[in-house]
């Protein structure tokens, strides 16, 4: 695919830290409403050069325009934090020579859970709460944010999620009011 060994290691780092940088790149509770199977935004931690269902795509353009595209980043993300997180993940891949899994050159949305498991494909977190748990467990991503910003980010996002989860939505009222 005309990727250098360094690019493969960088890709390996992106895949390794994808679940944890999701909290930074998808920072609102609504970010996770677009990260659902079957829609445009990817939910599966995998890569490919020939389809759009994985998290990371290597477009067919090669030569000087060869690049990796991380496709999950939400427009609400702080671009400085998102870039820092993605770069730190990739650089960790270079430093530790993290080899990526094989590319997935078929539509992951059409694979069942067993096929995804056999291909070592995992899901991105499905809520901000789950993404924050993954972020808290990843020292590389904590380092990317720094000792001052990381605790403030975690505190603010936990407060946001707590405020969200205590609200009763119109859907819940419509769905359950007459049933119970």
Average pLDDT (105-133) is: 92
Residue pair 89/70 in contact by the 8 Å Cβ criterion: no
Q: What is the distance between the alpha carbons of residues 102 and 38, in angstroms, rounded to a whole number? A: 22
- Tell me, rounded to whole angstroms, the distance of Cα 147 from its chain centroid: 22
Average pLDDT (84-107) is: 94
Average pLDDT, the chain: 92
Domain coverage including residue 155: 5-176
The domain tally of the chain equals: 1
CATH number at residue 160: 3.30.590.10
* Whether pTM exceeds 0.85: yes
Model confidence over 28-77: pLDDT tens digits? 999 999 998 877 789 999 999 878 789 999 887 666 778 899 999 999 99
Model pLDDT, residue 60: 75
């Amino acid at each position: 695919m005309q990727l250098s060994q360094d690019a493969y290691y960088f890709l390996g780092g992106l895949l390794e830290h994808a679940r944890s940088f999701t909290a930074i790149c998808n920072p609102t509770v609504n970010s996770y409403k677009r990260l659902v199977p079957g829609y445009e935004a990817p939910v599966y931690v995998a890569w490919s050069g020939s389809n759009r269902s994985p998290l990371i795509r290597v477009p067919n353009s090669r030569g000087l325009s060869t690049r990796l595209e991380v496709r999950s980043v939400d427009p609400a993300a702080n671009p400085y934090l998102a870039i820092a997180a993605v770069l730190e993940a990739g650089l960790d891949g270079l430093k530790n020579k993290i080899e990526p899994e094989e590319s997935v050159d078929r539509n992951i949305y059409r694979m069942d859970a067993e096929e995804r498991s056999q291909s070592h494909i995992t899901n991105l977190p499905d809520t901000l709460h789950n993404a924050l748990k993954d972020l808290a467990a990843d020292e590389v991503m904590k380092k990317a944010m720094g000792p001052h910003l990381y605790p403030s980010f975690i505190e603010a996002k936990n407060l946001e999620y707590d405020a969200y989860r205590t609200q009763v939505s119109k859907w819940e009222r419509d769905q359950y009011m007459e049933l119970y």
